[in-house]
């Protein structure tokens, strides 16, 4: 059970990753397992009433020595890809009971002499490829073959993209084109063509005094395939969200806004692609409207760096968690972008009423 502490919630788990799917919220975290004597777990809650609250826990799954971070979900096959140390771990999600059943794992970061650290792993929408990036600065592309009938997943390395010169923080597939984008501490985002394995674009920020020392934390393709959204952090000071326009030949920055007065430590896109959730190293939680490139909602109730972050399945709320065993819930004021369901219904009813008055006036004078 979780408890209400001040303006946020306490949970019996240091939180490092969050996944919102349908009517469930998945919290992953812990303290390293037997190595340090603190259990690694997956806690799953069903959403309750009111909608911003969670009901009783439905699953408490021991994840052994795996401290799961950056959980990403492939919707087609309901496969979760999570990072743990240098490994990408693949789970079949059973949303009915909240279980994650391990399918396989691959070592995907080979940093030396420091311990390996895989920072992001993501499966494409078709479920045929996986991209990984970590502290060894190499983007790796993996071939996936999932036998749905026998629930067997085979993952094998396809090729490597060696271009970055510093740790990679995020990777993302284009929805329809054979493209992948990676964000790195080397102050660049790089777009690769997966068919010819070539670097086709290198994105950097320049032209302003705040741009000089910004490292890219995240880069995401928009769902409408027209834009790229990046989050860049300084060593200290303000972080920035940039919208880039894609055309057949160029990728150009359209607008940059101040995301937060501190570095961003977690980033996620809403299920319909209209919003980006941001978590700060100071515990701040924000929602940015990508259509208007503005901060729609924000609050700072948490006292520690945000590590876990995701929208609920309906995008109505942003859930943020910290290693201090707390989580916060921020309401998305416009979960469908410009118009909420209620407002759309109101407009529809007003239109029906106007038509009724018009017909009545026409018939009866």
Among 92-101, 297-306, 348-357, the minimum mean pLDDT is found in 348-357
Whether residues 330 and 234 fall in one domain = yes
Among 5-9, 41-45, 323-327, the minimum mean pLDDT is found in 5-9
Q: How far is CA 137 from CA 87, 183, 329, in A?
A: 15, 10, 34
Q: How far is CA 346 from CA 103, 334, 359, in A?
A: 47, 15, 20
CATH number of the domain that residue 204 is part of:
2.130.10.10
Whether residues 352 and 270 fall in one domain = no
The upper half-sphere exposure of residue 1, i.e. CA atoms within 13 Å in the direction of its Cβ, equals: 3
Whether residues 298 and 351 fall in one domain = no
Q: What is the DSSP letter of 38?
A: B
- What contacts 292, CB < 8 A, 6 or more positions away? none
Task: Count CB atoms within 10 A of the CB of residue 291.
Answer: 11
Whether residues 311 and 360 fall in one domain = no
Tell me the per-residue pLDDT of 302-323, one tens digit each, with 9 for 90 and over: 989 999 999 999 999 999 999 9
Whether residues 265 and 329 fall in one domain = yes
Whether residues 317 and 345 fall in one domain = no
Whether residues 299 and 351 fall in one domain = no
Whether residues 297 and 354 fall in one domain = no
State residue 34's pLDDT score.
63
Q: State phi, psi for 87 to the nearest 5 degrees.
A: -105, 145
Whether residues 295 and 216 fall in one domain = yes
Tell me the per-residue pLDDT of 56-111, one tens digit each, with 9 for 90 and over: 899 999 999 999 999 999 999 999 999 999 999 999 999 999 999 999 999 999 99
Peptide bond into 31 cis (omega under 30): no
pTM of the model: 0.88
State residue 1's pLDDT score.
32
Instruction: Dig out the tokens for 352 from the structure.
Output: 């029906």
Strands 15-21 and 24-29: antiparallel
- What contacts 102, CB < 8 A, 6 or more positions away? 89, 90, 91
Whether residues 311 and 324 fall in one domain = yes
Whether residues 226 and 344 fall in one domain = no
Question: pLDDT grade, residue 359 (50/70/90)?
Answer: confident
Q: Which residues, in sequence order, are bridge partners of residue 118? A: 134
**Calpha distance 280→229 (Å, rounded):** 17
- Are the C-beta atoms of 127 and 74 separated by less than 8 Å? yes
Whether residues 234 and 349 fall in one domain = no
State residue 343's pLDDT score.
57
Q: Note down the domain range covering 355.
A: 340-365
- Are the C-beta atoms of 118 and 87 separated by less than 8 Å? yes
Helix (H) or strand (E) holding 356: helix 341-364
For the chain, the domain total comes to: 2
**Calpha distance 362→346 (Å, rounded):** 24
């Amino acid at each position: 059970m979780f408890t209400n502490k001040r303006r946020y919630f306490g949970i019996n788990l240091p939180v490092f990753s969050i996944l919102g799917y349908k009517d469930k919220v998945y919290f992953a975290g812990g303290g390293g397992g037997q190595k340090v004597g603190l259990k690694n777990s997956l806690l799953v809650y069903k959403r309750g009433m009111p909608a911003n609250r969670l009901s009783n826990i439905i699953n408490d799954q021991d994840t052994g020595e795996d401290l799961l971070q950056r959980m990403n979900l492939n919707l087609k096959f309901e496969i979760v890809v999570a990072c743990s140390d240098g490994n990408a771990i693949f789970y079949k999600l059973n949303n009915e009971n909240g279980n994650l059943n391990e399918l396989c794992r691959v070592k995907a970061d080979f940093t030396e002499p420091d311990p390996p650290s895989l920072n992001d792993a993501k499966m494409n929408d078709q479920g045929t490829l996986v991209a990984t990036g970590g502290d060894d600065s190499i983007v790796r592309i993996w071939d996936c073959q999932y036998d749905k009938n026998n629930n067997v997943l085979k993952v094998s390395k396809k090729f490597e993209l060696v271009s970055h010169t510093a740790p990679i923080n995020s990777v993302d597939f284009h929805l329809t084109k054979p493209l992948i984008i990676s964000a790195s501490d080397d102050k660049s985002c790089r777009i690769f063509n997966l068919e010819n394995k070539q670097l086709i674009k290198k994105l950097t920020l320049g032209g302003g005094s705040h741009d000089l020392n910004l490292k890219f934390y995240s880069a995401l393709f928009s769902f409408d395939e027209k834009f790229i959204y990046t989050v860049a952090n300084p060593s200290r000071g303000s972080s920035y969200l940039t919208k880039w326009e894609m055309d057949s030949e160029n990728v150009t920055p359209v607008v940059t806004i101040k995301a937060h007065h501190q570095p961003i430590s977690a980033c996620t896109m809403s299920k319909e692609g209209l919003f980006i959730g941001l978590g700060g190293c100071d515990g701040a939680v924000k929602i940015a409207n990508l259509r208007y490139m503005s901060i729609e909602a924000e609050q700072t109730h948490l006292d520690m760096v945000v590590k876990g972050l995701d929208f609920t399945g309906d995008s109505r709320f942003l859930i943020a968690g910290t290693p201090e065993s707390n989580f916060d819930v921020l309401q998305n004021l416009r979960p469908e972008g410009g118009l909420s369901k209620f407002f759309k219904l109101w407009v529809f009813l007003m239109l029906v009423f106007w038509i009724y008055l018009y017909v009545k006036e026409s018939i009866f004078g």
